Amino acid sequence: MNTNAKRTAVVTGGSRGIGRAIARRLAADGLAVVVHYTGNDAAAAQTVAAIEAAGGQALAVRGDVGDAGDVARLFDAAQEAFGGVHVVVNSAGILPMAQIAPAGLEDFDRTIATNLRGAFLVLGEAAARLGEGGRIVALSTSASALALPGYGPYIASKAGVEGLVRVLANELRGRRITVNAVAPGPVGTELFYQGKSAEQIARMAALPPLERLGTPEDIAGVVSFLAGPEGEWVNGQVLRANGGFA
């Protein structure tokens, strides 16, 4: 019996990297998937095509998670196409490097607008739309344990996301909707590799006791667990999927 029959997932940032792996995994689990993306039409189309080629249902919707109207339209599109929303995964995010200094303010504001304001809007819309048994998952980070220079805006935004998750889990008391965060360690994605030398990548890969970078599929598996029936008793938590380095 397919326990995911007639369930729909919205995955923000679902066209590339970890978001794409999550979208594909949830589709493989039997959910129809709405793939949100910001600007890369080709990448979104590729994700949808891969899901459909494997026998799943998917729809790509473009928008800015930091814009309330765009987020509302994303959920409207999911409801119109598939009749409802049951799982929401907020994976959209940016990672500009910026020092904690006046010169870094523009990058800080941009990061907060996407990573934290976006999470607030997506989680808020999810709370308004999901029914009993719904699942909400937000992507955080394990980078906070390293506190590396240049990561200040990113870590600050994700600390805020974790706070929102814990509060929303309590605000949804009595509705049987779980709210959790997944905090990946270093994962081999385009976003991770950008601007890093081979030496830096090797050093990051050596951090976990398992001595490798995570894969997008590693993270997608954790999200699949939280979104499925086995994850029902996990609520208000931050799962640090990082190979054990922190």
Q: Which residues are catalytic, by number?
A: 154
Nearest residue to 13 (alpha-carbon basis) of 101, 93, 111: 93
Confirm if 88 and 10 have CB atoms less than 8 A apart. yes
Q: Letter for the amino acid at 200? A: Q
Give the integer Cα–Cα distance in Å for 150 and 130. 37
* Token pair listed for 109: 């504001």
What number of other Cβ atoms are within 10 A of residue 182's Cβ?
A: 26
Listed in order, strand segments (DSSP E) in the chain are 8-12, 32-37, 58-62, 87-90, 135-139, 178-182, 238-239
Give the integer Cα–Cα distance in Å for 9 and 161. 20
Which strands make up the sheet holding 135-139, listed edge to edge? 58-62, 32-37, 8-12, 87-90, 135-139, 178-182, 238-239
